[in-house]
Structure 1
Amino acid sequence: MLRLSTLALLACSVPALAQEINVYSHRQPELIQPLVDAFTAETGIAVNVAFVDKGMAERLVAEGDRSPADLVLTVDIARLLQIAEADVLQPVQSDVLEANIPETLRDPNDLWFGLTSRARIVYAAKDRVQPGEVTTYEDLASDKWKGRICSRSGLSDYNIALLGAVIVHHGEEEATKWAEGLKANLARKPEGGDRDQVKAIAAGECDIAIGNTYYIGQMLADPEQAPAAETVTIVFPTFENGGTHLNISGVAMTKSAPNKENALKFMEWLTSDEAQKIYAETNYEFPVKPGVERSELVKGWGEFTPDTTPLSDIAAARAAALKIMETVNFDG
Structure 2
Amino acid sequence: MKLAIIASLCTALLPGFVQAKNKPEEVTVYSSRIEQLLKPTLDQYTRETGVKINLLTDRGGSLTERLNAEGKSSPADMLITVDMGNLWNAAEKGLLRKVDSPVLNANVPDYLRDPGQRWYGLSKRERTIFYAAGRVDPKNLSTYEDLAQPKWKGKLCLRTSKQTYTQSLVAMLIAKHGEAKAEQIARGWVNNLATDVFTNDASLLKAIAAGQCEVGISNTYYYGRILSREPEFGQQVKLFWANQADNEGGAHVNLSGGGVTTHARNPEGARKLLEWLSSQTIQTAYTHGTYESPVNVKADSDPIVKAWGQFKASPLNAADIGSKQAQAIRLLDRVGYR
Normalised TM-score (structure 1)? 0.90
- By how many angstroms is 1:211 displaced? 0.6
Asked whether 1:155 is paired with 2:153, we answer no
For residues 127-182 of structure 1, the C-alpha deviation after alignment (integer angstroms, 9 at most, x for no partner) is 21112222111101011111111111123211111111111111111111001001
Provide closer, same or farther for how the CA distance between residues 211 and 74 of structure 1 changes in structure 2, counting only shifts above 3 A: same
Q: Which amino acid aligns with 1:37?
A: D
**Alignment pair present for 1:27 and 2:4:** no
Larger Rg: 2
Within the candidate set 182, 188, 206, 1:181 is matched to 188
SS in 2 for 1:34: helix
Partner of 1:40: 46
Counterpart of 1:38 in structure 2: which amino acid? Q
User: For residues 242-292 of structure 1, what are the alpha-carbon distances to aligned partners after superposition, in whole Å with 9 as ceiling and x for unaligned?
Assistant: 111111110011112112221111000011111110022131111111222
Any gaps of 5 or more consecutive residues in structure 2?
1-22
Distance 2:262 2:202 in 1: 36
Pick the aligned partner of 1:231 from 229, 236, 256.
236
Identify which range, 289-298 or 236-245, moves more after superposition.
236-245
Distance in structure 2 (CA, Å) of the matches to 1:318 and 1:87: 17
Per-residue deviation at 1:230? 5.2
User: One-letter code of the match for 1:29?
Assistant: E
Cα distance in 2, alignment partners of residues 30 and 222 from structure 1: 18
Q: Give the match for residue 215 of structure 1.
A: 222
Asked whether 1:51 is paired with 2:57, we answer: yes
After the TM superposition, which residues 86-101 of structure 1 pair with which residues of structure 2 at under 5 Å, given as runs? Answer: 86-101=93-108
Contact 1:155 1:325 (C-alpha < 8 Å) held by counterparts: no
Residue 315 of structure 1 aligns with which residue? 322
Gaps of 5+ in 1: 1-16
Aligned-residue identity in percent = 39
Matches within 5 A, 1:39-188: 39-53=45-59, 54-188=61-195
Q: Does 1:204 align with 2:211?
A: yes
Q: What does residue range 6-17 of structure 1 map to in structure 2 within 5 Å?
A: none
Question: Structure 2: how far apart are the matches of 1:218 and 1:47?
Answer: 28
RMSD: 1.6
TM-superposed CA distance for 1:73, in Å, is 0.7
Q: How many residues align?
A: 313
Partner SS, residue 122 of structure 1? strand
1:227 Cα offset (Å) = 6.0
| CA distance, structure 2, for counterparts of residue 282 and residue 322 of structure 1 | 32
Q: Would the aligned equivalents of 1:122 and 1:209 in 2 still touch at CA under 8 Å?
A: yes
